[in-house]
Amino acid sequence: MPYETILFDIADGIATITLNRPEKLNAFTEAMHQELRDAMTRVRAKASLRVLVLTGAGRGFCAGQDLSEPAMAGNSDVSTTLERNYNPLVLGLRDLPIPVICAVNGVAAGAGCNIALAADIVIAARSARFMQVFSRIGLIPDAGGTYVLPRLVGQARALGMSLLAEPVTAEQAESWGLIWKCVDDAALQAETRRIAGQLAAGATKAYGLIKKALYASSQNNAERQLALEAELQREAARTADFREGVSAFLEKRPARFSGR
Ligand code: T3D
């Protein structure tokens, strides 16, 4: 399928999806969602992939739902768009058994903010802003906003961000624990490549199991979480990468992980 609203690239075990409507700050359209669905299917199908990077073209990461789309005209059921497009995308990123990095190159607003926060590692350019703009147009945070915000930054900041809809700077976002780190604008690409390269050379199966364990954590009590750890650790210990990791340690050499 030829893409018109995203770019899709694969190199060195790393898939990169770039939202590509820079003149509209990469706002989501129905066409973009279809293309994202297709790209995500390709990522899931390619067993050799070890990292997914999500970023935006131009000066913004994503300004959320394109407000000029017919679905936003006010007389249609917007929950249909959520159920068809945003919810599967959020869960798809989270359930992907490889690490997902979001390189936030500029403003991340509305659903654009929450799709960024659905990634496992969020790196932002210093000039980027995180905005829960929904209440400015009479909506509530969606695309997982009401789920992740209180868990990442606590109820007070989740409420402040959602009710006031003010921009949160990348530095603030890092200090609040909303994102992994903030870097100078000029360093964003290089730092994203460095982290993606590190993860692409790592123990991929373990990364997938780490995601599973940590995302289950907030739903579990201690007993269930410990049981889950034991179950997932059993799986991790069966991988070639576990054997390689231990051998490399004992032989005092860097590990050469195959991702299997
Ligand atoms: O089921 C459902 O589908 C509901 C789901 C909803 C999910 C949501 O995401 S709701 C929230 C939607 N997003 C917004 O409300 C954000 C709207 N945009 C803004 O508030 C501002 O653009 C920003 C604060 C993000 C950035 O401001 P600024 O000054 O840096 O840029 P700008 O000049 O406003 O935008 C540049 C262009 O992008 C401009 O186009 P133009 O006039 O040059 O032709 C602007 O209209 C366009 N643009 C920005 N955001 C959107 C957009 N066009 C359509 N939809 C947008 N969301």
Expressed in angstroms and rounded, the spacing between residue 237 Cα and the centre of ligand 1 is: 47
Give me the sign of the Cα torsion angle 64, 86, 209, 8: negative
Q: Residue-wise pLDDT tens for the chain (260 aa)?
A: 899 999 999 999 999 999 999 999 999 999 999 999 999 999 999 999 999 999 999 999 999 999 999 878 776 788 999 999 999 999 999 999 999 999 999 999 999 999 999 999 999 999 999 999 999 999 999 999 999 999 999 999 999 999 999 999 999 999 999 999 999 999 999 999 999 999 999 999 999 999 999 999 999 999 999 999 999 999 999 999 999 999 999 999 999 999 99
Expressed in angstroms and rounded, the spacing between residue 65 Cα and the centre of ligand 1 is: 8
Q: Which residue has the tokens 């018109």?
A: 4
Structure tokens at 75: 């007389």
Global pTM reads 0.97
* CATH match of 6-200 with 3.40.50.970: no
Domain with CATH 1.10.12.10 in the chain: 204-250
Candidates 3.30.930.10, 1.10.12.10, 1.20.5.50, 3.40.190.10; correct CATH number of 204-250? 1.10.12.10
Closest atom of ligand 1 to 110 CA is 9
Q: At what angle do helices 222-236 and 204-217 cross, to 10 degrees?
A: 170
Q: Which residue has the tokens 């770039």?
A: 18
Expressed in angstroms and rounded, the spacing between residue 133 Cα and the centre of ligand 1 is: 9
Return the closest-CA partner of residue 105 out of 51, 183, 177: 183
